[in-house]
A and B are shown apart, each in its own frame.
Chain A
Amino acid sequence: GESVGLHLPTLSVQEGDNSIINCAYSNSASDYFIWYKQESGKGPQFIIDIRSNMDKRQGQRVTVLLNKTVKHLSLQIAATQPGDSAVYFCAEIPITGRRALTFGSGTRLQVQP
């Protein structure tokens, strides 16, 4: 499989537990945020997004929280499953200037059966 980061922080959870993955973003002018999941040998896969006029958004088993005051984003996965094991990236797009995704460094989630 491909390597996506030699020194990624790793979160290890038990199957069935809830997972929380955190991300600090850098640009206070960012207005759109996305969480991606990357499995070995594949490209990043969209999970959930949130715009800066919201502080919470829920999907199926996932919730994204946005705290613009401290520039913090989190991804909560409910009832974590072995298939959730992957590297998770947060990404942001600024409201002005280069309107391209800037990715964080990623967190590896390991789900123990």
Chain B
Amino acid sequence: DARVTQTPRHKVTEMGQEVTMRCQPILGHNTVFWYRQTMMQGLELLAYFRNRAPLDDSGMPKDRFSAEMPDATLATLKIQPSEPRDSAVYFCASGSILAGKNNSPLHFGNGTRLTVT
């Protein structure tokens, strides 16, 4: 049963520290998304990649957040320096989305719960 894998599941860190979250998308999926979920804002899109190329990162604070896909089996989301307001659950999702054509639903990992103190 293919699934999106995220690590770590939980991360507690102090303000100012660097945080790296990792995601292994489902093999064969060409699109990877990063979402953030908070009580107040719900699910917000941070960034997404197609065929490992960044397509949109307009939802991400550029000064501290960065997202990369070093290869097809790994996506990373990094926060440096982290701040208390970054505390949230960060989800990775993968799917097969083709421009102008039928899409498949996104499959989500179980998230990384980040707490910045």
Contacts and interface: CB of A to CB of B under 8 A. Distances in A.
A binds B: yes
Interface of A: 2-6, 32, 34, 36, 41-46, 49, 51, 89, 93, 98-106
B99 A99 contact: yes
A102 B106 contact: no
Interface of B: 4, 33, 35, 37, 39-40, 42-43, 45, 48, 56, 58, 89, 91, 93, 97, 99, 102-103, 105-111, 113
B48 A44 contact: no
A89 B43 contact: yes
A6 B43 contact: no
A47 B106 CA distance: 11
Contacts of A46: 105-107
- A contacts with B: majority SS: loop
Contacts of B99: 99
Given A4-B37, A44-B108, A99-B97, A106 B113 contact: no
A108 to B, nearest CB: 13
A51 B102 CA distance: 9
A39 to B, nearest CB: 10
Contact of B113 (A2, A32, A99, A104): A2
A40 to B, nearest CB: 11
B101 to A, nearest CB: 10
Contacts of A5: 39, 42
A78 to B, nearest CB: 21
A21 to B, nearest CB: 16
Contact of A49 (B35, B45, B97, B105): B105
Contacts of B39: 3-6
A100 B48 contact: yes
A43 B42 contact: no
A2 B112 CA distance: 11
B5 to A, nearest CB: 11
Contacts of A32: 102-103
Nearest to B33: A100
8 contacts: A4-B42, A45-B108, A46-B105, A93-B97, A98-B56, A99-B97, A100-B56, A101-B33
